[in-house]
Structure formats: structure tokens, C-alpha cells
Amino acid sequence: MPTSDNDPPPVYREIAEELRAAITSGRLSDGDRVPGENDLMKRYGVARATARQALSVLINEGIVVPIRGSGVYVRAFRPLRRHGPKRLSRDLWGGGRAIWQADAGDRPFETDSVEVDEVPAQPHVAHALDLPERAPVLRRRRRYRLDERPMQLATSYLPRELVRGTPIAEVDTGPGGIYARLAELGHAPAHFTEEIRVRMPTPGEIEALSLSAGTPVLDVLRTALTDDRLAVELNEMTLDGSAYVLQYDFEA
């Protein structure tokens, strides 16, 4: 038990570790209220600033979430395992299933926001799709939720002349999504390339993904190409870094 603010490790970290252990052991479950500042001050004989620091550690880790005027509560969200090769399998979208079904299984997920419009291709989009700069592209912007929690923002860009007037330009693209419709047009994706980087979110992303302070995001940039290497989609995804496990399988 903590005894002094001057002993290493700092007392607030020891308190945070004990609270973390209570959560991981199941003594505190999802939705349970965590002892507040006053409780921690009495239990450990520490100053309010120390108790506040201990709670801040867990809030920044995304383990607990503060609710104004109520307290701090456990948020024991089970991370989503994103299996790169499996989720892009032709058997999945070719069979009319959404890519998300490979990730979520029987957990409830939804696309709660879809916007479709036409915009001039920015330089990186034009480069990825092998188009002239400022060429018109179809843009599809979505937000995904799992277990009622915002998880991912995604923006797809596709050559306008390839998909104009097709279901891809509609809000609901139908079973199998974009890739199934591209296959029907004779442009089935056969190759994918993904780039991933980690960064801190913008204020807009913090709001859209309901991110706790200090939570990073994962940027995933994916290009879909046909058998003859025609680029048919660029997808820019922003993922809540605390909510995902990325899995990739390789042969030696």
C-alpha cells in the first residue's frame, strides 16, 4: 500500500496499479463506479492532487471514463481483432457479406453515418488512383460503431467515371458492399496494399470517435487494385487506437 508521495514509484502510480488490478481481475466490472477522489484520499491518506493523478492515469489509458457530475466508471471494452487478409477475402464480400463481419463476428456493429459526394482528387488521391490531379472522384465517408461505441472513420475515393450511376454512388451499396459492386462491373479487387501509422488525433477526430484524453489513432491507407493492377479504390481509415488489435499472418 502507498506510504509516501516521495517514494518511487510515485504514489499515484501505485494507486492506479491497484485500481487497474481490480478491473483486470473482475472485482470492478464494465459500468462499475471507480472510487472517486474523496474515497482515494481517505483510503490511502493522500492529497487530492495525488488521487486525481491516479484516476487520470486510467482515464488516459481508456480503461475508465469520467462522467461529469456522476463519477468515473469502468469501460472494459473488448478490443476488436482486425485480421487483415481474412477481412479482404473475395469469399467474404463475393458472398454478399460486409467486410466488418469478419472482424465483429456476432457483436453488434453498424454504419451510423454515410455521406456520398463528388470532389476533385487531391494530389495523394490522384497519385494512388493514377488520375490527373483534380480529376473528379466519388467520395464515400462513413463512421462505424461496435457495441454502440464509435470505432472507425473511413473515406473511400473511387474514379468517378468508373462508378458514376452505379450502386456504389448510392448510400446503400447492397450486399458485399463496394467490392462486390466493382466485381459486377468487371473490376474486382484482386490485390490490396495497406500502410499503417500511429499519431495523435485531431480535435474533430476526438469528438467523432469519443476518444479519451491521450488516446492515439491508427491511420490505415489501403489501395485496392484489379488483376491488371488498375487502382479502383483508395480508402483512408482512422481507427481508435485503444479499440483494435491488428493481426496479419505471413508464411516464412
Place of cell 450502386: 167
**Has residue 81 got a pLDDT over 90?**
no
Class of domain 11-74: mainly alpha
Tell me what the pLDDT averaged over the chain comes to: 89
Residue 77 banded pLDDT, cuts 50, 70, 90: low
In this structure, how many other beta carbons lie within 10 angstroms of the beta carbon of residue 127? 13
Confidence of residue 122 (pLDDT cuts 50, 70, 90): very high
The CATH H-level superfamily of 80-247 is Chorismate lyase-like (3.40.1410.10)
Q: What is the pLDDT of residues 190-209, one digit of tens each?
A: 999 999 999 999 999 999 99
Neighbours of 237 (CB within 10 A): 20
Which H or E run includes 149? strand 149-159
Write the CA distances from 93 to 2, 177, 188, 217, 242, integer angstroms: 54, 7, 10, 26, 27
Q: Map out the domains of the chain as residue ranges.
A: 11-74, 80-247
